[in-house]
Amino acid sequence: MLLSFIAIAVGLTLLVWSAGKFVEGSAATAGYFGMPPLLIGMVVVGFGTSAPEMVVSALSATQGNPGLALGNAYGSNITNIA
C-alpha cells in the first residue's frame, strides 16, 4: 500500500514537472518563430486538453471498441462547447 502511494506521488511530481517543461519549451520555440503570445497560449492549452481524449480514442479504436472512441469524442466536444 505504501509503495502505491509513493508511486502516485512520484508520478504526479513527474507529471507536473514535465508539463512545465513542455509549456516552457513550446512557448520558446513558437516565440522563436515569431508567433504571438495569445496564439501560443491557445495552441498549448488546446493540445494539452485534447491529448488525453486523443490517446483514449486511439487506444480504444485499436482494441476494437470504436464506440468508446466516438463516445469520448462526442462527450469531449459537448463539454468543451458548454
Q: Is the pLDDT of residue 3 over 80?
A: yes
Which residues make Cβ contacts (< 8 Å) with residue 57, sequence separation at least 6?
A: 68, 69, 72, 73
* pLDDT tens profile 18-54: 888 887 888 888 888 888 888 888 887 777 777 888 8
Residue-wise burial string across 12-40, b where 16 or more C-beta atoms lie within 10 A, e elsewhere? eeeeeeeeeeeeeeebeebeeeeeeeeeb
Q: How many domains does the structure of the chain reveal?
A: 1
Per the structure, the complete domain to which residue 48 belongs is given by 2-81
The reported pLDDT for the residue numbered 6 is 93
Reported as a pLDDT band with limits 50, 70 and 90, residue 5 is very high
Are 58 and 65 a contacting pair, CB within 8 Å? no
